[in-house]
Amino acid sequence: MLQRICGFALIGGIALAACTPDRPQGDTAGAKKPAVAQNPVTTATQSPPLVRAARSQIGATRVYDPAYVRLAYPGGDVPFTRGVCTDVVIRALRTQGIDLQQRIHEDRLAYSEHYPARWRGLAADRNIDHRRVPNQMVWFDRQGWRQPITARASDYRPGGIVAWDLGRGVLHIGIVSDRTTHDRIPLILHNIGSGTQEENLLFGYKIIGHYRPVLSAVPG
């Protein structure tokens, strides 16, 4: 029996990390593909650390794979050649000393009431909790990272994190680039089905979360 859950699917008791529910090997086939910007313009001479870290995944993370994997802890990761949208964010933040696997797992153990009610009947799982979009959103909120959601491209600064509702219960997350379209719309570094890419996605779907990491303010 397949249970629809935002950010992962549960099949026969095995959780799958995913930005797409109902597809154990989801490639976001049910969502429209973003338009890729032609001749993007670089808007900064030196990219912010999170942008550099996310961009370094392009060409290295080539496969969208939501399979549940037992991970080392802390600092565990699926093979770098594969992953889902949340893994782009996880890997980028780790370069700044923030291990979402440990931070979200420990926060959920201590403050489970803050996390989505649909998962409160499930034990905290250090293999998957940090790879769920809603859990990342809760943790970012709890760090005070939330920013206004607007329709102004200039409000989405390089290194920010944005979450979307793609429709039909499918959530997605990515990092704002310092490159833009010729209309000055920031590109997004993300994995929506073809590995990590840098694409014109920002206003392609309903934005449900906007965050500005304050890296020096996150306790160790």
Spatial CB neighbours of 8, under 8 Å, sequence gap ≥ 6: 15, 16, 17, 18, 21, 66, 128, 131, 132
DSSP strand E in 48-144: where?
A: 63-64, 82-83
Q: Please, what are the averages of pLDDT over each run of 10 residues along the chain (220 residues)? A: 34 44 33 49 72 98 97 98 98 97 97 88 92 98 98 98 96 98 98 97 98 72
The per-residue pLDDT for 215 is 79
- What pLDDT sits at residue 33? 53
Distance CA 189, CA 201 (A): 9
Q: What's the pLDDT score for residue 120?
A: 74
Please give the single-letter amino acid code of residue 153: A
User: Residue 163 has which token pair?
Assistant: 């979450």
Structure-block tokens of residue 167: 């429709």
SS3 of 19-65: the string is CCCCCCCCCCCCCCCCECCCCCEECCCCCCHHHHHHHCCCCCCCEEC
Q: How far apart are the C-alpha atoms of 188 and 179, rounded to whole Å?
A: 9
The pLDDT of residue 7 is: 43
Indicate the domain borders of the chain.
Answer: 2-217
Give the span between the Cα atoms of 74 and 212, in whole angstroms. 24
Tokens of residue 28, six digits: 């976001």
The CATH number of 2-217, from 3.40.190.10, 2.60.40.10, 3.20.20.70, 3.90.1720.10, is 3.90.1720.10
